[in-house]
Amino acid sequence: MRFKLFCLFVGFIGGYFMISWMPDVTPFHFTNFITEFIFNPLKSFLAMISFLIGFLSNAVLIRTAVEETIFYYSGREVRLGELIVSCGVVANFYFLFQMNVILTGLFLIFSIFYGMMSIDLQRKSRYKNNL
């Protein structure tokens, strides 16, 4: 449960920093966007690292929310605390959408795809239950 709370916090902070450090080019022209990346390499690198860490943490929460919901409807054992904490990812994305819709949309798409790819519905190993 603490791990899921940590992922919730890290997912929001990663998304916030990614949005803050990405170059804001309005109106969007690809050449201006690439130029901003080239002339600000530290901010660009930090934005990419924040994106990677943030979408991985949100993917863990999305995976857990989907798994626990499926287990609930199939009548299997459900860890209700983890389900509630994992549903907090919706609040993360709500607040991030308030800052930048396009970047948060990309962040959400990557998180959903990776979260869905990593779903494990077997739950055969007991060591995963401790995470």
Q: Which of 45, 28, 19 is CA-nearest to residue 105?
A: 19
Read off the pLDDT of residues 33-50 as tens digits, 9 standing for 90 and up.
Answer: 888 888 888 998 999 999
With respect to residue 57, please indicate whether it lies within any of the assigned structural domains: yes
Which pLDDT band holds residue 129 (cuts at 50, 70, 90)? low
Which domain range does residue 111 map to?
2-119
With respect to residue 9, please indicate whether it lies within any of the assigned structural domains: yes
With respect to residue 128, please indicate whether it lies within any of the assigned structural domains: no
Which pLDDT band holds residue 57 (cuts at 50, 70, 90)? very high
With respect to residue 125, please indicate whether it lies within any of the assigned structural domains: no
Q: Select the more confidently predicted residue: 27 or 103.
A: 103
pLDDT at 17 (0 to 100): 96
With respect to residue 100, please indicate whether it lies within any of the assigned structural domains: yes
Tell me how far apart the alpha carbons of residues 112 and 31 are, in angstroms, rounded to a whole number.
29
Number of structural domains in the chain: 1
- DSSP characters over 15-82: HHHHHHHS---SS--HHHHHHHHHH-HHHHHHHHHHHHHHHHHHHHHHHHHHHHHHHHHHT----HHH
